Structure 1
Amino acid sequence: MSEAASRPWIVGISGASGAVYGIRLCEALLSLGEEVRLVITDAGWRVLKDEHGWQVTNRLETLQAKFDGLPGSWRYYPIQDIGAGIASGSYRTKGMVVIPCSMGTLGAIAGGLSDNLLERAADVMLKEGRKLILVPRETPVHAIHLQNMLTLAQMGATIVPAMPGFYHQPTSIEQMIDFMVGKVLDCMDIDHDLYKRWGDRS
């Protein structure tokens, strides 16, 4: 395996509604044989409990039950593990996705705060010139939210708001989730078949 092929993707899940987007992205990446380094904020775990009924007392076992057996490899880092490899620019990665990205996390990344491992890993992506994709899921938004998104876009981050389309005529929530995850995979330059593209009538 080449060095480039062995580099992982970092996936961050923060405390916005829609944590299912992040979990589905991990499933899609692992199903494609990619390597994933996962970090979830405490608020992200709260969303997984409240919206999906996840057992969050033993977090590693919960993730093992979800992801073990898929073709790719993964590793989970606790949010306060600031000494983890992904906190360093010398740790080679393909990039990072924060999905969903709460406005608090987005603001912290825009301000370069690096108060936890997710924020630090995102800061590393910016300072090393690597791919950083942020998926905010909040509405409505005010001027500070918009300014933070503009700041990050000007720094090279890709902003992919969780705004599912309907031209593929979804008939289930799962198809709407897959549409958004597919749009993120497009930004990661990863081939997939999670939704029917416009003009594809086959």
Structure 2
Amino acid sequence: MAQRIIVGISGASGIVYGVRALELLRDCGVETHLVMSKSAELTLHYELDMPLATIHSLATEVHAIKNVGAAIASGSFVTAGMLIAPCSIRSMAEIATGVTSSLLTRAADVVLKERRRLVLMVRETPLHTGHLRSLTQLSEMGAVIAPPVPAFYALPESLDDMVTQTVGRVLDLFAIDTGQVSRWQGD
């Protein structure tokens, strides 16, 4: 079976991270299952000049946010895990409490219960103590908290370079080498 990853895109700013993840995963031959929140669809119109259909075309399969009967809502659907890029504070809070209201957060909950890799590119700043407690709780539950932070040692020449480097490093967490990451070689 080819490697299979769920990609969630929430409504936080930074939809380009989810799009780039889908592009890089497609280029690596990874089967992707996309689920986007309604807020993500709204954010798309503010941040990218790209039709929703184009994003959908990047995924192997697209699941409707309200379809809690989708394959990705079951632990018997084997995946390498799930990346939520970007991850809103609302999605983070639902996952932390296990009180899920959509396929996006249900799929993340399933990934955690099955002890698979869950990576959250949390997009919020500053964080208050409640956010930090929820992030700590998620880390204790096995999630990887990976805010999108640029690696300036890679000497990016564009915003596109920064996004690609950041997403490439996150995909490293799934043992996927995209060939797009500038790696620190030491002094």
TM-score, normalisation: structure 2: 0.95
2:104 to 118, 130, 143: 118
After TM superposition, the structure 1 = structure 2 runs for residues 116-155 of structure 1, keeping only pairs within 5 Å, are 116-155=102-141
Aligned AA for 2:26? L
Q: Unpaired segments of 5 or more residues in structure 1?
A: 68-72
Answer yes or no: is the 8 Å Cα contact 2:119–2:143 preserved in 1. Answer: yes
Could you tell me which residue of structure 1 aligns to residue 55 of structure 2? 63
Answer yes or no: is the 8 Å Cα contact 1:175–1:195 preserved in 2. Answer: no
CA displacement, residues 109-128 of structure 1 (integer Å, 9 cap, x when unaligned) = 00101210000000001111
Between the aligned partners of 2:152 and 2:54, the Cα distance in structure 1 is 32
After TM superposition, the structure 1 = structure 2 runs for residues 41-80 of structure 1, keeping only pairs within 5 Å, are 41-55=37-51, 59=52, 61-64=53-56, 66-67=57-58, 74-80=60-66
SS at match of 1:167: helix
- Give the count of matched residue pairs: 187
Answer yes or no: is the 8 Å Cα contact 1:12–1:39 preserved in 2. Answer: yes
CA displacement, residues 83-118 of structure 1 (integer Å, 9 cap, x when unaligned) = 100001111111100110001100110010121000
SS at match of 2:60: strand
Percent identity over the alignment?
A: 43
Between the aligned partners of 2:55 and 2:144, the Cα distance in structure 1 is 27
CA displacement, residues 51-107 of structure 1 (integer Å, 9 cap, x when unaligned) = 11333xxx4x3335x52xxxxx61001100111000011111111001100011001
Could you tell me which residue of structure 2 aligns to residue 70 of structure 1? none
After TM superposition, the structure 1 = structure 2 runs for residues 6-17 of structure 1, keeping only pairs within 5 Å, are 6-17=2-13
Is the aligned partner of 1:167 residue 2:153?
Answer: yes
CA displacement, residues 4-60 of structure 1 (integer Å, 9 cap, x when unaligned) = xx34100000011000000000100010111000000011111111111333xxx4x
Alignment RMSD (CA, Å): 1.5
Answer yes or no: is the 8 Å Cα contact 1:7–1:92 preserved in 2. Answer: no
Between the aligned partners of 1:131 and 1:106, the Cα distance in structure 2 is 15
Between the aligned partners of 2:185 and 2:3, the Cα distance in structure 1 is 33
User: CA shift at 1:200, angstroms?
Assistant: 7.3
Q: Unpaired segments of 5 or more residues in structure 2?
A: none
Could you tell me which residue of structure 1 aligns to residue 14 of structure 2? 18
